[in-house]
Structure formats: C-alpha cells, structure tokens
Copies of this chain bind each other. A is one copy, B any other.
C-alpha cells in the first residue's frame, strides 16, 4: 500500500524517458530515484523499465502501468490543487460563536461588506454568552472578550477596545458631574459582573477606584440601556455608545481619562485555518484596529 509515491516517481521517469531529467524536474538526486524505482519493481515483482546504461525504455508491463498511473497521478495533483484553492478562495459555511454585544455592535455593521467581498461564503452565527467548546462543537471560530484559559486553543487579538466613561445628562444633573476619578466612589458605576474597581488612566497617571452600583450584568447592551435610563455611569468603548452620543442620550465624562484597553480575541482550535476563517479574522482585525 506504500507504493503510491513511487508510482508518481515512475510516471515522471517514464515521461522523461531518463532518470537524470526526471530527477531534475522532481528536484531529487537521481541515485534516490533509481533506487526507489528499483524497489517499486521489486515490490510488484516485475520490471517496468528496460535499462541500458545509456537509455531506458518501458517494458510491456511498464507501458501498461504508465498509461494507468499517469492519469491517477494527474488526478491526485488536481485534487491537491483544488484543496489549495480552498485555502485561497474562501467558500463554505463559516460558523462563529460570539458574544451578543459584539455581534450587534461591532460585527453587524461591517458584515454586509464582508459578505459582498466573498459571495461564496455563508454564515452561521451563534450568539451566546457561554464559552462554547470549540473542540466538541463544529465552530470554525469563537470571538471572546478574554483570553481562553485552556492552552490548547489558539487566540489572536483582533481588537483593543478602550472603555471611556459615559453618563446620561439627566443622571449628571441629579448626582453632579465628577471631575476627578476619586469622585466616582460616590456615584453609581454600572460595571460588568465580577468587576470591583476601575483603573483610570490619563497619560502616565493612573488612579484606581473601587466602583459599584445597584446593578450588575453581563451584557454591554444592558449597561448601556441602564446608563441611558439615568441609572449611573458606564465605562464602554466609544463605538458602543455612538448613537446615544449623537442623540444626546449619553455624554462623555472625565474626557481626559480612560480605562485600560480590553482585548478581543479570535479563538480557533488550530493554526491550520481554511481561507474563510483566515479572511474573516483578517477582516475583523483590520476594521477594528481603528478603535
């Protein structure tokens, strides 16, 4: 069963009618080539080439074998080329698991452009807060807001989002507008679950302050909604609150200060990615770099 490579070599030799030329086109020493063909002949038990020191010609069996093998090797080559094209020309279904907020806020607006770029691709988005198991479930890609703990997954940073502070004008009117991070302690600070403090940066300066509020949630949309409803101060990337800023529902506070950037990761099971996945990640990274 281990004769297929040698078959390809034989086809090349038969085509060139010379060991030397065949070895040259194959990029291997003719000593190896000669030996491999000899072994092939031994394994099938008869001669394929009639050898003179100067010239080689096909035996009857060799002629027959060549006719068949030629086609087979050619087909194999084409199969591989098509596989190569799959890497180059993305197609098929891209299955992505990603957070709801990322999907609605970041992905949705840029998706039409990407879809137009690759007409051969279909998409299957799984919007879920849970950490899907990439190995068990057939996802090509997951987008996460934190690096995965399991080390056997490959995580690429596709964006760094810098949260800034926003509040509703109504809220500020009621509670007053803070002019230094230290004043945040007296405010309702709408945070994600498990967040106890904010570290605010201004140039080289940084101030940590414990924050909290009556509301916690694992949804950016929820926090934004609460902020609009005058429930407190939110720390969100600019793009998330773009509409609310434009309409005046939210207003940036402490404009010189910002939180440490949080990374967005594209997580895959392996580095050997089909083109569709590669292009999608590239596209995201390119568009999100601007943030």
Contact = CB atoms under 8 A, between A and B. Distances in A.
B83 A72 contact: no
Contacts of A7: 4, 76, 79
A92 interface: yes
A80 B44 contact: yes
B272 A76 contact: no
Nearest to A268: B47
A1 interface: yes
A61 B41 contact: no
A231 to B, nearest CB: 44
A176 to B, nearest CB: 56
A72 B74 CA distance: 10
A5 interface: yes
Contacts of A44: 80, 83-84, 87
Interface residues of A, number: 48
A180 interface: no
Interface string A39-53: 001101111001111
Contacts of A274: 46-47, 59-61
Contact of A1 (B26, B61, B69): B26
A118 interface: no
Contacts of A243: none
A273 interface: yes
Q: Number of copies of this chain in the oligomer? A: 2
Contact of A272 (B47, B53, B57): B47
Interface in A61-112: 61, 64-65, 68-69, 71-73, 75-76, 79-80, 82-84, 86-87, 92-93
Contacts of A3: 76, 80
B73 A4 contact: yes
A83 B83 CA distance: 30
Contact of A92 (B4, B5, B60, B80): B60
A148 interface: no
A136 B52 contact: yes
A20 B244 CA distance: 58
Contact of A52 (B52, B53, B72, B135): B135
A52 to B, nearest CB: 6
Interface of A: 1-5, 7-8, 26, 41-42, 44-47, 50-53, 57, 59-61, 64-65, 68-69, 71-73, 75-76, 79-80, 82-84, 86-87, 92-93, 135-136, 138, 269-270, 272-274
16 contacts: A42-B272, A44-B87, A46-B272, A46-B274, A51-B135, A53-B135, A57-B138, A60-B274, A61-B83, A64-B83, A65-B79, A65-B83, A68-B75, A68-B82, A71-B75, A72-B79
